[in-house]
Amino acid sequence: MKVTLLCKIDFANVASILAESFRKVGINAIAFSLKRHKFKYTKQATVIERDNAKVEVEKSDVVVFVHSLFIDTGVDLGEKIVAVYHTGSQYRKNAREVNQVFNKIVDVSFCGGDVLNMGAKNEMWVQPPIDTEFIKPVYKTDFSKFIIGHFPSGGAKKGCAIINEVLQRVRKRNFEFNYNLNHVPWTYNLKRMSECDIYIEDMHDKQGDKPLYVFGMQALEAACLGKVVCTRFPMFGEYEKTFGPCSLIATDTPEILQAKIEDLLSLSNEKFVELQKRTRKWVEDQHSYEVVGNRFKKIFEEMRK
């Protein structure tokens, strides 16, 4: 089975990591992008000219359009399995228009949890994989002070003001709050997250007038680093029903965030490290390349029957 993933820009390098997860389970997959992303991810979709993309699509059994953007290569897609990957702001803000394009051509719509039930054809809830081999855990060893981090890729749109206000009210145990709103290369962001003990991903409840329900890639990255992760996660219960137990800490309101942070700072050293290790294991069990790749492989194989 040959799978080609296409995007205009590989936001959050999702196309690249999807392709790699497919390859981990024996699928011949490659991701192409018309432009390179400015965040300098170490792995990105291969930049390709549109004419060359046509050649690759012609040879494919499955074509996946990533980030809700259609790329017309001129290939007749009628004999292929066609999918679209909907996630993030592009789809959330423009679901009606995007559906008008894709619902006519796709067999399945892969959707992040926060963009479900927005009219996509044959939608399936999927979560992105994370490279558990490249991103190694860094567990706490110095308990003289706790480091809480928040480095949003979307600037102040991740609820920085709320997080600052909450942490000013926390009085238990000695801690330091490190946050920065500047865009930095992906590897540098991993480094500064690795220096934290607790990572607060997001406390923002809406994008424009659209509610947000699930965690983002930074939560997975921080968890993969062995950090205890707090984030708004109204779909926590639905996630566990669909995928299994989750070790993220759902902090849907400022009051809950404060209570959870104070609880975490009150844990014994042994219990805290145990929680870090449990968070890392959750990522391995539910979001490794192999686990996610096998979920997609099963879907593609069922559709080929």
Q: What is the pLDDT of residues 144-161, one digit of tens each?
A: 999 999 998 755 567 888
pLDDT for residue 47: 77
| For residues 5-15, average pLDDT | 83
Give the pLDDT score at 124.
95
- β-strands 108-111, 123-125: how paired? parallel
What is the per-residue pLDDT for 211?
61
Q: Check whether 40 has a pLDDT greater than 80.
A: no
Q: For the chain, first and last CA: distance in Å?
A: 13
For the chain, domains (ranges, CATH) are 2-128+289-304 (3.40.50.2000), 146-287 (3.40.50.2000)
β-pair partners for 84:
65, 109
Using CA atoms, how far residue 224 sits from 19, 134, 220, 221, 282, in Å, is 19, 10, 6, 5, 9
Q: Which residue has the higher pLDDT, 289 or 127?
A: 289
Kindly state the DSSP code that residue 27 receives in the 8-state scheme: -
Predicted confidence (pLDDT) per residue in 22-38, tens digit: 999 999 999 988 876 55
Residue 297 and residue 109: Cα distance in Å, rounded? 15
Q: Are 25 and 293 in contact (CB under 8 A)?
A: yes
